[in-house]
Every structure is written in structure tokens, then in C-alpha cells.
Chains A and B, each alone.
Chain A
Amino acid sequence: MIRAQVIVRPRASIFDPQGDAVCRAIQHLGVSTVKQAHVGKCIELELDGNDLKKARTQLETICKDLLSNPVIEDYVLTFNGAEPAKAKTAAKPVVKKATKKVVTKAKSAKKPIKKVSAKPVKKTQKPVRRAAIKKKKR
């Protein structure tokens, strides 16, 4: 599922009587610092599938042809809650952590050690880095 949000706003060059009325109402409330208001609309869309690139092309067409009128309006298209993509990136670190701790402890420990020194000392990453920094300072 892909979720997208389209914000449609009146173009700056077009007089926006709704925004003007809202602004005046705000001033009637006693808030004189608000000098301008613009009223647009927010359209939220939910799409099947997880191809963001394809969805973007389709939605750009929809925005131009239906959701906004380019003569009077601008739009901003954003994606949020792109669940499949997030799920993939979130799943990888979980697997790595598990393998580090349980299965490939030796392998993961060797890599940072090689960079710093040739001695096969079992140390976690952070102390090694600190030691390296101290050495440089000295």
C-alpha cells in the first residue's frame, strides 16, 4: 500500500477571496500578526502495489489533469507511509543484529580489528575506535 498526499494551493498571482476572508476573520479574533491566509485543499490517496516510481508518474498525471487546474493552482505531491519500502529497510538491521550476537560473532569482530591492528583481540567496535583516536592524539 502506498499513501500519497496532494496539497493544492491557489497560485500566488491569483486573488484568493477565501484566504482573504479567513485572514480578515483571524484579525477580527484579535490576532493582528496574521497578514495573509491562503485556502487550498489536501487530498489523500491510497494506492495498491509498492512501485513508488510508477505511482509517482501516475499521480503526477492525476494531479495535472484532475486534482489541480494549472491556470489557477499549484500542487505538491508527497508520499508517506510507503510501507513496503520501510518494511524492507527495517527488516535488514534486525537480521544483522541477530547474526552478530549469535552466529557470526567472530567474523563481525575481525573486521574492525583488521583496520586498527593485526592482533586478534576480541573487542567491540566502540572501544577500538576510542583507542584509535587516543593513539592519533598521542
Chain B
Amino acid sequence: MRWAVIQFPGSNCDQDVFHVLKNVLKQEVDYIWHKDSSLKDADAVVLPGGFSYGDYLRCGAIARFSPIMPAVKEAAAQGKTVLGICNGFQILCEAGLLPGVLVRNTSLHFRCETIPVRVEHPASRFTREYMTGQVLQLPIAHGEGHYVADEATLDSLFVHKQVLFTYSDNLGRTTPEANPNGSQRHIAGITNRAGNVLGLMPHPERASEKILGSDDGLGLFTSILASQGVSLAQAA
């Protein structure tokens, strides 16, 4: 499987994603500079975390107009896998590939820690290696992760099983204390209606090797591989 990792000015998780895909999962990966206009026939696109364009104006607002974005939108329209992590999630929302928007954490604090995240639906290309209600330990590192959308959109997201990840406590309970940023309905990660575009605030690429504390995030990448018929044995 061929992956494209987009590099915006200010991206800082691009190398982490590249490392996991290349060295842990033995995938073909290309860095794609934001000024390029082609994804080089990639089967999947990752918009990594960071602070693209210094988060000026709003997070992701300027990256949305990068020359590579039409190609990302086209890939999404073709049903290819598009994964936005942290700032990547913010960019996907600003670009209109996902509904809603991410605003300043209610606490106003930048939260950088490993927290429990609950898997809502395993019947997606991003979560098929997980179980319903499984609680993952995933790192977060953001100041603007508070997901906001109108009530109708929120209802629709749950009805159509687009909410894949929510913030919970270690027992899987979505309590206010377990919500690190005030996100509406504890939303941590959502897909588009078609289910091929995922945006999430936690960093699965930072939890993909046991030696780094947790490999709970690796399942997200192996789920994508499995959904494309790539087994880990093949990949390795």
C-alpha cells in the first residue's frame, strides 16, 4: 500500500507518521510537500499534526488553501483513505471534508498527556482491529481540540456512526472530567459520511511501539491496511 504524508510549513508529526508507516509497518511512503499538486498515486493520505502556518487566523484555515489540497479533496472523493491527525483534523474541518470545527480548549490550557480514548464503532476502515467500547491509551497534544458543530450535525454524526472515538475515563465512561478540551459530546475523532475520511485529535502514531509506552494506536493503521486487503505478514 502506498501512502502520502503531506508536509505543511509547521507540520511537526510528519516524521513520526512516516517512521511508523515505513519502519514499523513496512509500507511505501512518500513525503508530499504542500506546494506539490500530485499525491503520486498514493492509496492513502495522511495530514499530520503540527502547527501549519503557525495556526494563524484559525488552526488549519490557511493550510486549507495549499496547492496540494485539491488533490487531497479529489482522493477523498474517489473513496481513498484520508487520515487527519490533530492539526490534520483541523485542516480537514476547515477544508470542508469533515463537518464542524475545532476551537480553543475550554480550559485554555495546552493539554499534552496520554489519556483514555474509547472506540465507538469497530465497523469502519479505521477501527476494524479494535472492539466496541475498547479503551485505548493515546497521547494528545493540543490547545485547540474542542470539537464544535450545531446540534443537528452532532445528532447526524452519531446516527450515521461517524463518531469513531470519544474521550472517556479508563473504564470507558464519558464523564466531564475525562473530557480534556470541552469537546461537544466528548468527540475525539469523526469520519465523513462515506467513512473514508477520518480526523482525530489523539496521536495514534505516537503510540505505535511498545518501547514508546503504548502501541494502542497501531491498530488504527493496521485497520486501514486490513480494509485494503493488506495483511501485516504481507506488509512485513
> Which residues of A pack against B, CB within 8 Å?
14-15, 17-18, 21, 66-67, 69, 71-72
What are the nearest 3 A-B pairs in CB distance? Answer: A71-B101, A17-B108, A17-B106
A66 vs B107: C-alpha distance when bound (angstroms): 26
Q: Mark B84-111, 1 if CB is under 8 A from A, else 0.
A: 0000000000100000110111111000
**In the complex, what distance in Å separates the CA atom of A66 from the CA atom of B61?**
7
State in angstroms the CA–CA spacing of A17 and B57 once bound together: 17
The B contact surface, by secondary structure, is loop
The answer on a CB contact under 8 Å between A17 and B107 is yes
A15 to chain B: which residues have CB within 8 Å?
A: 106, 182
Using a Cβ cutoff of 8 Å, how many contacts connect chains A and B? 30
Distance, CA A66 to CA B95, complexed state (A): 10
A24 CB, nearest partner CB in chain B, Å: 11
Q: How far is the CA of A45 from the CA of B150 in the complex (A)?
A: 31
Known contacts A71-B148, A71-B150: A17-B61 contact under CB 8 Å: no
Of the candidates A18, A66, A71, A72, the one whose C-beta lies within 8 Å of that of B57 is A66
Chain A residues lying within 8 Å of B149, measured Cβ to Cβ, are: 71
Does A72 lie within 8 Å of B108, measured CB to CB? no
Q: Who on chain A is nearest to B149 by CB?
A: A71
Q: What are 7 A-to-B residue pairs whose CB atoms are below 8 Å?
A: A17-B106, A17-B107, A21-B108, A66-B62, A71-B100, A71-B101, A71-B148
Q: How far is the CA of A39 from the CA of B49 in the complex (A)?
A: 26
Interfacial chain B residues near A18, Cβ < 8 Å: 104, 108
Q: Are A14 and B108 touching (Cβ within 8 A)? A: no
Inter-chain contacts of B104 with A (CB < 8 A): 17-18
Q: How far is the CA of A66 from the CA of B182 in the complex (A)?
A: 25
Interface residues of B in 100-134 (CB under 8 A from A): 100-101, 103-108
Q: Which of A14, A17, A69 contacts B94 (CB 8 A)?
A: A69
Chain B residue contacts of A14, Cβ below 8 A: 103, 148
| Complexed CA–CA distance, A21 and B101 (Å) | 21
**Contact assessment for A72 and B148 in the assembled complex, using a CB-CB cutoff below 8 Å:** yes
